[in-house]
Structure 1
Amino acid sequence: MPIAPSDEFRRPFWVLLHIHAHARRSRKSAAAVGRGRNNEILLASLLPNHPPTPSNLYLYRKNGPFGDTPCVLSMVDNLILFHAYTGPELRFPPTRLCDFFVYRADPNEPSLKLLPHPPCSVDRDDPFGIFPRGDKHYTIASLVPSISSAYDHVLHLFDSETQIWSRKDLIVESAQASFPVDTPVSTKRILSQHHTSTVITLAGAISWVDLWRGIVFCDMLSENHALSGVPLPLPQITGPARHYRGIALLGGCIRLVEVDSEIVDLPDTCDEETGWAIGRTENWTITTWINKSDKDERNSYAAWNKVTTL
């Protein structure tokens, strides 16, 4: 994600952030000091690397090790949302025992803030997005399917200015267009409903993306936070979506990339650490689509233009 520019020489403009934080103190970057739920001291710092090398969030707990590896939930500009569990060692601690923090990775004024604990209906593994509002404030949003037949989604919001969590039950006012052709049996299951793969911030919206199926846009500039859907090009392969597809806003256009390849096992070889067979990637293909349409016209398969196949 893009990070705020600084005066530091050769500091990258954008980074790829590792999802798991390093639970130790970094000696190479200045740390922000914050306090957890029991007033204990925590330190956070970001060590940015130039892509494709991933960057790392470093977290240090003065009272001892974390009970579970802290996990990054979202990053937009220089804002990083993560959760951390500071109790005794426990695998998959429940959300009620986890603390949520926002770390501002500003090289000049870094900060680490403990958020008020979200309502019990918010899960630590929900798909979160961040919507910056000026230089100081932001909104955190989580969109999950509704269990009520009267609504499509539940939107949880946190306002950094009021320090309050709120909830809205919403329907998708403009549902994504239907698939233009009969889909193969192998893909019908993954295309039948929305499963969020990633969350991105696009102009005035936070977008929950199912990389196989489509995008649910949430208008963050309207009071009612209207939802609208946009389809993605039909998948040419199946499997874990994030292994094969990626999406971003570049040059004012939504760009979707799909990578297909064949993994060939190398005989009589294995990884010394895992014991797994070592493979070689062959016959790879990269396909790129661009959606240049404005908000009112992008809800169509015709809005996607295939621009390259390598």
Structure 2
Amino acid sequence: MPDSSRRVALLGPAEVRSLAADLDIRPTKTLGQNFVHDANTVRRIVVSAGVGPDDTVLEVGPGLGSLTLALLDVVEHVVAVEIDPVLAQRLPVTVADRAPGETSRLSVVGADALRVRASDIGAAPTALVANLPYNVAVPVLLHLMSELPSIRTALVMVQAEVADRLAAPPGSKTYGVPSVKAAWFGTVRRAGSVGNSVFWPVPKVESGLVRIDRHPDPQWPMDEAFRKILFAVVDAAFAQRRKTLRAALAGWAGSPMEAERRLTAARIDPSARGETLDVAAFVRLALTQ
């Protein structure tokens, strides 16, 4: 059990650049690599995540270890998924240097987060806390929430525009496919903003924190088969936003008439548009036969 009085030596700008130089690391846009070098920021992320001594945290893209160290200062165990083999091999060494004796509470999985499976993780993480690669943030988030039902909360840093979309309410301009799909898993809300000055290299976009609290007692099916049906309906509804649902869902249902029948059965106005429906309405529609 981690000692709440202990302070792990966190990374600062000089340490991040020194580590990168030692490893001959040049952050790439392909992997969405922007390393956080501000200790206050990673501490704020951990606090916003609400994790504690009983949590096993899944971290995606730990990079040089800034957030990893802050998590190890608070939680029981961290499982870090890292696609870059050089970074994956170095992370335990960094933890040993900055948090002597704590390497047993870190597991590193060298894998692509878009393809990682529960069997690869080996543990049952209770929380997801990560600075997600911005180019694949939404697919990674949805995949992990689906693959690991043990995750009760997620606190992720993503591009600010993506954060707005994830947390958007029905009827807003930013409400769309990511909003509905995330809401199927749990309650989604914005948890703060992060300036670009805390990263190296400095990104051209602003960042935002998003928190998801998984529904403790969901009022709809949560199995994988139903998820695929629901997500197909959502994709179809937003594929042509200007069309009414009767027209937009014609392909999904088989015909405009069948789309109208299903919409009516789900107590949805066939002339409505996808952005007006909440996740419960989409669930009713997906359950129609």
TM class by smaller structure: under 0.3
Q: What is the TM-score normalised by the length of structure 2?
A: 0.28
Q: What is the TM-score normalised by the length of structure 1?
A: 0.27
Structure with more strand by fraction: 1
